[in-house]
Amino acid sequence: MKLKLFLLTLLISPNLFAARICEDYITDEWPDHRYQIDSVSEVVTDMGTGLMWKRCSEGLSGGNCEIGVASTHGIGNALAIPAAINSTTGFAGHADWRLPNIEELRSIAAINCYRPAINEIAFPNTRSDLFWSSSPINFNDSNGWNINFSHGTDIPDNSGFNVLVRLVRTAD
Amino acid sequence: MELRIIKYKISVIILILPFHNLAAANNEIFVNGFEEIPIPIVRFNLNDTGIIWAGNILTGNSSTCISDIAADQDCHQGRDANAATNSNADGHAGFSFTKLDINGNQLGSTATNWSCVQDNVTGLVWEVKTNAAGIHNRINTYQWGGITAIGRDHPARNGTYFDPSWNELVTNSNDNNFCGFADWRLPTIIELSSIVNKGTTTPAIDINYFPNTSSGIYWSSSPMAEFEDFARSVSFFLGDDTINMRNSSRLVRLVRSDQ
């Protein structure tokens, strides 16, 4: 079954390197119709949580997040990114962007799939890698919480590590 | 001539079939005869994390929400940071819980005998574990895969779904209308993570509402997509989600919801 799905995914995928694999027997709580996409403004609204996300990881842009290189940051710099955007140009007409907390970031991890565990229509060109949350860690004070979008699991990471960033805001 | 037409029809069907399969791979039409009905998207609320203190750039946590990071972080945002929602009277910081008795009646926050907890943010109702002998006992452990495990009844399921697992706990809770409900099940990993208080550890939960919580590993109903011998769980020692072999015996906490 897995092999069959894998081969089918290869067949229907325009990009052989982005061969996300999904399992039909695991409930898909992250179907396309959950996400209201604005590809011009490069934002997507999650109709489940009411959160508006930047479709692209920081460093990327374009309707398919195909322009640029995904950038990685330590937690101090990662938290400064939305602050800088909000105090200057804003993004998509909004000036209340922030780093998601760990539960918000978990809400877009589509765990019926892996490599990457995310809806790629809503969030194109997402690396199967670590993303920062804004949540520090109680039991290790040099760590913060990440979600690994390879499988959608949370993981503590050293605050100095350079990790990917995706911004969120509470939709109106 | 007629035979030719039949042959033609068969070949058309054979030509169409692969496309049918492609649609199935997209989760749109049929999977092994199972009709995939699109899940209506219902608006729901996330819990905050319970973190009310700040971390520093490289090392050290503050006891307050002030640190050497100038920009806002977790403790500045959400229900935990909002004076209208962060009262500890109904659970730590942004959490808002209501105690229920075994018949589902709401109790005051100072009640000393309760069987379930209603989460007023997510709408989920949770089983409270007990010290008393029986199905709700706090140390009962189960292999993964019993009734309500995700994918258990799907013809294309992967890996082993163990029995008897937690079947007796789920079935008896429903038969007995535990806390007034008959739709008890295992929580998904997202649901189980929602009651983690990441502001604390050992256990990472509000023990004023969830007494008898072990700092151990609790199963979710969610399988691990890539590794069929594993399923997802939360360790309430630190509050992180973990993956565990399905054949290992772990704790559980039941949940029910209106949807």
Residue A42 lies in a domain: yes
Which residue is listed with tokens 């808002």? Answer: B96
Which residue is listed with tokens 């860690």? Answer: A137
Which residue is listed with tokens 């330590």? Answer: A74
Residue of A128, A137, A138, A147 to mutate when probing chain B, most B C-beta within 10 A: A138
Q: Is B71:A87 a contact under the CB 8 Å cutoff? A: no
Q: Is B157:A25 a contact under the CB 8 Å cutoff? A: yes
Report DSSP state, residue A106.
H
Residue A6 lies in a domain: no
Contacts of A22 in chain B (CB under 8 A): 25, 27, 225
Point out the least confidently predicted range of B6-20, B71-85, B111-125, B163-177: B6-20
Please give the sequence-ordered ranges of beta strands (E in DSSP) within B56-199, or none if there are none. Answer: 97-100, 116-119, 125-127
Give the integer Cα–Cα distance in Å for A117 and A111: 6
Residue A44 has pLDDT above 80, yes or no: yes
- Number of structural domains in chain A: 1
Report DSSP state, residue B96.
-
**What average pLDDT does the segment A36-63 reach?**
97
Instruction: Tell me how crowded residue B126 is: count the other CB atoms within 10 A of its CB.
Output: 25
Do the strands B34-35 and B97-100 form a parallel or antiparallel pair, or are they unpaired?
Answer: unpaired
Residues ≥6 apart with Cβ < 8 Å to B250: B141, B142, B144, B216, B217, B218, B219, B233, B244
CA distance A153 to chain B (A): 6
**What average pLDDT does the segment B48-66 reach?**
93
CA distances from B64 to A160, B74, B96, B160 (A): 21, 12, 21, 47
**The pLDDT value given to residue B33:** 47
| Least CB–CB distance from A8: residue in B21, B41, B238 | B21
Residue B248 has pLDDT above 90, yes or no: yes
Q: CA of A77: which chain B residue's CA is closest?
A: B57
Residue B57 has pLDDT above 90, yes or no: no
Compute the half-sphere exposure of residue A56: CA atoms within 13 Å on the CB side of its CA: 21
Closest CA to A153 of B227, B52, B74: B227
B:216-255 residues touching chain A, CB 8 A cutoff: 222-226, 228, 232, 238-243
Does A141 sit within 8 Å of B60, measured CB to CB? yes
**The pLDDT value given to residue B164:** 98
Chain mean pLDDT for chain A: 91
Please write the tens of the pLDDT for every residue from A80-110.
Answer: 999 999 999 999 999 999 999 999 999 999 9
| Least CB–CB distance from A25: residue in B47, B56, B158 | B158
Q: How confident is the model at residue B219 (pLDDT cuts 50, 70, 90)?
A: very high
Contacts of A154 in chain B (CB under 8 A): 193, 240-241
Copy the structure tokens of residue A171.
Answer: 């939709």
**The pLDDT value given to residue B230:** 98
Backbone angles phi, psi at A63, to 5 degrees: -60, -25
Interface size between A and B, measured as CB pairs under 8 A: 180
**The pLDDT value given to residue A18:** 57
B74 and chain A: CB distance < 8 Å anywhere? Answer: yes
Copy the structure tokens of residue B22.
Answer: 């492609």
Virtual torsion, Cα B221, B225, B227, B233, nearest 10 deg: -30
Residue B63 has pLDDT above 50, yes or no: yes
Contacts of B158 in chain A (CB under 8 A): 1-2, 23, 25
Does B44 sit within 8 Å of A139, measured CB to CB? no
Give the integer Cα–Cα distance in Å for B167 and B191: 20
Please write the tens of the pLDDT for every residue from B65-110.
Answer: 999 999 999 999 999 999 999 999 999 999 999 999 999 999 999 9
The CA angle B127-B130-B131, to the nearest 5 degrees, is 170
Residue B18 has pLDDT above 50, yes or no: no
Q: CA of A23: which chain B residue's CA is closest?
A: B225
Please write the tens of the pLDDT for every residue from B24-50.
Answer: 334 443 444 455 667 788 999 999 999
**The pLDDT value given to residue A14:** 44
CA distance B129 to chain A (A): 24
Which residue is listed with tokens 């969120």? Answer: A168
Residue A101 lies in a domain: yes
Contacts of A99 in chain B (CB under 8 A): 73
Does B240 sit within 8 Å of A31, measured CB to CB? no
Is the alpha carbon torsion for B177, B174, B249, B218 positive or negative?
A: negative
Closest CA to B253 of B159, B162, B173, B153: B173
Q: CA of B76: which chain A residue's CA is closest?
A: A134
Burial of A32 (0-12, 13-18, 19+ CB in 10 A): middle
Task: Measure CA of the first residue to CA of the last residue in chain B; give whole Å.
Answer: 56
Residue B146 has pLDDT above 90, yes or no: yes
| Least CB–CB distance from A141: residue in B49, B61, B232 | B61
Task: Delimit the domains of chain B by residue range.
Answer: 2-35
**The pLDDT value given to residue A139:** 83
Residue of B29, B30, B198 to mutate when probing chain A, most A C-beta within 10 A: B198
Dihedral-angle region of residue B205 (phi above 0 means left; psi in -120 to 50 means alpha; beta otherwise): beta
Which amino acid does the sequence have at B19? F
Burial of B1 (0-12, 13-18, 19+ CB in 10 A): exposed
Instruction: Tell me how crowded residue B35 is: count the other CB atoms within 10 A of its CB.
Output: 7
**The pLDDT value given to residue A172:** 67
B:104-123 residues touching chain A, CB 8 A cutoff: none
Chain mean pLDDT for chain B: 89
Copy the structure tokens of residue A48.
Answer: 């489940």
Residue B139 has pLDDT above 90, yes or no: yes
Residue A68 has pLDDT above 80, yes or no: yes
Residue B1 has pLDDT above 90, yes or no: no
Length of chain A counted residue by residue: 172
Does B48 sit within 8 Å of A103, measured CB to CB? yes
Q: Tell me, what CATH number does A52's domain have? A: 3.10.100
Residue B14 has pLDDT above 50, yes or no: no
Does B22 sit within 8 Å of A159, measured CB to CB? no
Does B190 sit within 8 Å of A142, measured CB to CB? no
Which H or E run contains B220?
strand B217-223
Compute the half-sphere exposure of residue A20: CA atoms within 13 Å on the CB side of its CA: 27
Range of the domain at A63: 26-170
Which H or E run contains A45?
strand A43-46
Does A79 sit within 8 Å of B41, measured CB to CB? no
**What average pLDDT does the segment A29-47 reach?**
97
Give the integer Cα–Cα distance in Å for A53 and B57: 24
Contacts of A8 in chain B (CB under 8 A): 21-22, 25
Residues ≥6 apart with Cβ < 8 Å to A123: A44, A53, A55, A56, A65, A108, A166
Give the integer Cα–Cα distance in Å for B159 and B230: 8
B85 and chain A: CB distance < 8 Å anywhere? Answer: no
Q: How confident is the model at residue B254 (pLDDT cuts 50, 70, 90)?
A: very high
